[in-house]
Chain A
Amino acid sequence: MSITASLTRAWRIAADIADPELPMLSIADLGILRDVRWEDGTVSVLITPTYSGCPAMSAIADDITAAFAAAGIAPVHVRRVLAPAWSSDWITPAGRRKLAAAGIAPPTPGSAPIACPRCASMETAMLSPFGTTACRALWRCRACGEPFDRFKCH
């Protein structure tokens, strides 16, 4: 296989790995998979954290190593890059659809109204600016009464 074909295959393997805290999204959907490249005779997978203290980074690195080992590619070098900094704009359109389907309101900028991911009502209010993970806030729908997570616009 040519290097290009190998890297295309390697990208597919990496892009298939689920985020541990948002398992409905792959790390490619979330925009934290930055590159898969050939460096010094090994495959390098470049990932970036969502938040400085994102505790999922180590788990993701382990998952990448395991997925490549299962595909017969070893060793693989997982490298963390910081620049350019991740923002919620890096979430792909597919990722946004998957978030909404899972009941998590996708990020919207500034003070734009937030639609309830369950009933689509715009009668929603924030309960807490911090939620179950670093990337989420806790909201509530006044129409259907359900609480929901909102992906922070960051």
Chain B
Amino acid sequence: MASSSIVFAGPPLAQYALRRADDALLLGHRLSEWCGQAPMLEEELALANIALDLIGQARLLYAYAAEIEAAGHDEDQLAYLRDAQHYGNLLLVEQPNGDFAATMLRQLLYSAYAWPYWQAMERSADATLAAIAAKAAKECAYHHRHAALWVVRLGDGTAESHRRAQQALDDLWMFTGEMFTADALEAPLITAGIAADPALLRPLWQASLDETFAEATLIAPADGWMQQGGRAGRHGEHLGHLLSEMQYLQRAHPGVVW
């Protein structure tokens, strides 16, 4: 039956693209959950626009992964027919929206990483990834600016907004460590100049966060225990719930189109 789960079996380059597609899709989906519930109209537009950019990045990356895999899968099947343990996203992006502070801190932590990541990927030896990166870098820079403005406003706002922003930062910090690691699948791609070296991104990420946190009067937690496993398909319980909602239509009505 067409609604059965599929397993992606592409080579490392395709897996690499698929993982980045998963990052963008899940964060985009999380942001879309704010639709109709944002604190004000302008923010409603902002969150939906950011979600649209991210889902657009995901589509380009899924399409590329499917093209390399050459197993007849398309971007929709990769998004809607894979089970949680076959998703290779960062744990950070699957975290629930929480309150507005948690959403904005998650957005800041991700976009402060994604912006320099995609900038570095513009120099990828893989022409398609470099082309996708050229668009994504500019989009993520814009998302970062927006998230940073909100984090400053919340952190340096009222006692309550400061408390919530600091709480969100404390809660999310343990999901940031895996952004800067590379597993056995990705290491050769880094050596080949196809993938950006995440270790080189860390200082850029840290410097931009330091600047935002100083203005926001927020304290970055000490690096303690870091959760890992997202890239290997070891996820928290939240991802299953997210997928059950996101994939429902395709699973219940296989192949349905708008």
Identify the A interface with B (CB < 8 A): 49, 51-55, 82-87, 127-132, 134, 138, 152, 154
- Distance from B230 Cβ to chain A, minimum over Cβ atoms (Å): 22
Chain A residues with CB under 8 Å of B68's CB are: none
B53 is contacted by which of A52, A85, A129, A132 (Cβ under 8 Å)?
A: A52
Identify the B interface with A (CB < 8 A): 42, 45-46, 48-50, 52-57, 59-60, 127-128, 130-132, 134-136, 138-139, 142, 145-146
Q: Is A52 in contact with B57, judged by CB distance below 8 angstroms?
A: yes
Chain B residues with CB under 8 Å of A134's CB are: 49, 52-53
Q: Is A129 in contact with B128, judged by CB distance below 8 angstroms?
A: no
Chain A residues with CB under 8 Å of B49's CB are: 130-131, 134
- Distance from B42 Cβ to chain A, minimum over Cβ atoms (Å): 4
Chain A residues with CB under 8 Å of B128's CB are: 82
Chain A residues with CB under 8 Å of B45's CB are: 128, 130-132, 138
Q: Is A83 in contact with B138, judged by CB distance below 8 angstroms?
A: no
Grouping DSSP codes into helix (H, G, I), strand (E, B) and loop, the B interface class, with mixed when no group exceeds half, is: helix
Cα distance, A51 to B128, chains bound together (Å): 16
- Distance from A141 Cβ to chain B, minimum over Cβ atoms (Å): 17
Cα distance, A55 to B51, chains bound together (Å): 12
Given contacts A83-B131, A128-B46, A130-B50, contact A51 B56 (CB under 8 A): yes
- Distance from B107 Cβ to chain A, minimum over Cβ atoms (Å): 13
Number of A-B contacts (CB under 8 A): 68
Most chain A CB atoms below 10 A, which of B45, B131, B142, B145: B45
Please name the residue on chain A nearest to B134 by beta carbon: A85
Q: Is A52 in contact with B56, judged by CB distance below 8 angstroms?
A: yes
Q: Is A85 in contact with B52, judged by CB distance below 8 angstroms?
A: no
Cα distance, A54 to B130, chains bound together (Å): 19
Given contacts A82-B128, A82-B132, contact A53 B59 (CB under 8 A): yes
22 CB < 8 A contacts A-B: A49-B56, A49-B135, A51-B56, A52-B60, A52-B135, A52-B136, A53-B54, A82-B60, A82-B131, A86-B135, A87-B138, A127-B42, A128-B42, A128-B46, A129-B146, A130-B49, A130-B146, A131-B49, A134-B49, A152-B142, A154-B138, A154-B142
Cα distance, A82 to B52, chains bound together (Å): 17
Q: Is A52 in contact with B139, judged by CB distance below 8 angstroms?
A: yes
Please name the residue on chain A nearest to B127 by beta carbon: A83
Given contacts A82-B131, A85-B135, contact A129 B142 (CB under 8 A): yes
